[in-house]
Structure 1
Amino acid sequence: MEISGIFSAIVIGLIIGVLGRLVVPGRQHIGVLWTIAVGILAALVGALIAHALGVGDTKGIDWIKWLIQIGLAALGVAFLDCAKARRRH
């Protein structure tokens, strides 16, 4: 992955984190910074998975890559929310 790809993954990660949080039902008890961090990580890992599957760079919009990234962000948000809920109780 080139430096421009990493930079774009970070910028896209900001959006991915918010979308991932919207996918998870109910109220999440994690902060905005955690949401952004999860989104960035999900964008980077999702891009790597998409490239490994051969769907990272397609003509037009990379819908499959976006779905992978949003799915990973939703899993990350749900995991952090559960971890914080256990710590509170």
Structure 2
Amino acid sequence: MEMGIIAWIILGALSGWIASMITGNDARMGAVANIIVGIIGAFIGGLIFRFLGGQGVTGFNIWSALVSIVGAVVLLLIVNAIRK
């Protein structure tokens, strides 16, 4: 299923926000940062899940949100490790 730009922004915002709460970055991140982290996280999560034999982002659904959250958490953990 093809996702439009609005769907990517919504998925990115939701995923980035959840990932920032999981990693403890919520206080430092605004809406734009959450969107960017979520969208990049969707790509990272897609790579991870495809490498493991699964599917990446499949559309605007719960599975895609999970993939995006996993990727965003990985991204934020890497950023936190570099900052320290």
Same fold per superposition (TM over 0.5) = yes
Paired position in structure 2 for 1:13: 12
Structure of greater Rg: 1
AA aligned opposite 2:72: A
C-alpha separation between the residues in 2 aligned to 1:34 and 1:69?
A: 14
Listed one character per residue, the Cα deviations across residues 29-66 of structure 1 (whole Å, up to 9, x for unaligned) are: 964354442112123x146868x828715xxx722221
Match of 1:56 among 46, 55, 58: 58
Distance 2:57 2:19 in 1: 20
Q: Count how many residue pairs are aligned between Structure 1 and Structure 2.
A: 76
Structure 1 Cα separation of the partners of residues 76 and 56 of structure 2: 26
Q: Distance in 2 between matches of 1:56 and 1:69?
A: 11
Query: How far apart in 2 are the matches of 1:35 and 1:19?
Result: 9
Whole-angstrom CA distance in 2 between matches of 1:22 and 1:73: 11
1:74 aligns to 2:60 (yes or no): no
* 1:22–1:72 CA distance, 2 compared to 1 (3 A): same
Sequence identity (%): 22
Query: How many Å separate the matches in 1 of 2:55 and 2:63?
Result: 10
Alignment RMSD, CA only?
Answer: 3.2
Is the contact between residue 46 and residue 57 of structure 2 (CA under 8 Å) also seen in structure 1? no
| 2: CA distance, partners of 1:54 / 1:39 | 14
